[in-house]
Structure 1
Amino acid sequence: MLRSRARNLIAAANEMLGIARDLERMAAENDGGAAGPRLVVAGHAPPDDHPYYLDLARRAYADRRRRDKMFLTELFGEPAWDILLDLFISAKQGKRVSVSSACIGAAVPTTTALRWLAVLESRGHIVREDDPADARRAFLHLSAETYSRMIDFFAADHQSGMDRTAIAANG
């Protein structure tokens, strides 16, 4: 029952993110196409970072939630990837992610998500920062190296999609 409610909330959140993306796009068009702030990680913005990678990450995350609705989630469990996708999306949107929000984004029981957060942190993929305003809360973000790897992943995914489109057009 709770898992079903959580999935419904995640689906609604993804839908709202899509609406927000559309609103951002319309606002950019009204501003003469001015780009929004560029993400800076560890003092620099990766040169090959592209706003489209946010769309790819959102789509990957939404596809995973849709798949979870269609099949047994036990068949496809990859909470680490869900956490990385969630943190990447949040980074691209300039949003901070609390530990509890990351657990929800992992779409697994909290204890499982906490174990995976510990693994990702111990391997240097994510960084935990205490909230200076509230000692009970901590925020998470991707390490600079992991963010760069996510960019490389989505750049390759984007290129692969463009290659498939070209093949289909010439087909």
Structure 2
Amino acid sequence: MAFARRLISNDDLRARTFRGRHFTAGDWRILLELFVATEEGRRSPVTALTNAPTIAKSTALNRIAEMIDAGILLREADPGDGRRFFISLAPEIHPWLNEALAEMARSDEPPAPE
């Protein structure tokens, strides 16, 4: 039961962090993939983001397009391959994700002794 409560708390935190904007589990997966890629200094082509087992390829493409339109993600053409595009987090989104993940990690820590 404690684990279920933490999951609910993390969902609530995610909603608060993104100013009440609802993200599906697939959206969250895309954001996390991009966060990790940014931290590792990698670029993410669209195809890499549509291969997650938790979201259908067509749905992932639609959600990526919606998040680009909302200013959450950025799309950049690959200068070496005109058929490929890279997706990245908008600059202001990375710090939001970083803080949300840090707060989620803190919520998973055992309480400090009193």
Q: Do these two structures clear the TM 0.5 threshold for a shared fold by scoring above it?
A: yes
Give the TM-score, by structure 2 length.
0.72
- Mapped to 2, the partners of 1:133 and 1:97 lie a distance apart of 14
Please identify which structure carries the higher strand content: 2
Query: Aligned in 2, Cα 1:110/1:151: closer, same or farther, shift over 3 Å?
Result: same
1:105 matched residue in structure 2: 52
**Alignment partner of 1:132 out of 79, 88, 103:** 79
1:157 matched residue in structure 2: 104
1:86 matched residue in structure 2: 33
- Mapped to 1, the partners of 2:50 and 2:43 lie a distance apart of 14
**Alignment partner of 2:89 out of 134, 139, 142:** 142
Stretches of structure 2 that go unaligned for 5 or more consecutive residues are 1-23
The 3-state SS of whatever aligns with 1:89 is helix
Runs of 4+ in 1 over 3 A off after TM superposition: none
- Mapped to 2, the partners of 1:108 and 1:97 lie a distance apart of 17
Relative contact order, higher structure (CA 8 A, sep 6+): 2
Larger radius of gyration: 1
- Mapped to 2, the partners of 1:133 and 1:107 lie a distance apart of 30
CA apart distance, 1:161:
3.3
Stretches of structure 1 that go unaligned for 5 or more consecutive residues are 1-76
Q: Give the residue type in structure 2 aligned to 1:120.
A: M
CA apart distance, 1:155:
2.1
CA-to-aligned-CA distance 1:32-54 (integer Å, 9 cap, x gap): xxxxxxxxxxxxxxxxxxxxxxx
Aligned residues of 1:82 and 1:106 also touching (Cα < 8 A): no
The 3-state SS of whatever aligns with 2:77 is strand
Please identify which structure carries the higher helix content: 1
Query: Aligned in 2, Cα 1:106/1:97: closer, same or farther, shift over 3 Å?
Result: farther
- What do you get for the CA RMSD once the two structures are aligned? 1.7
Query: Aligned in 2, Cα 1:98/1:106: closer, same or farther, shift over 3 Å?
Result: farther
Aligned residues of 1:128 and 1:139 also touching (Cα < 8 A): yes
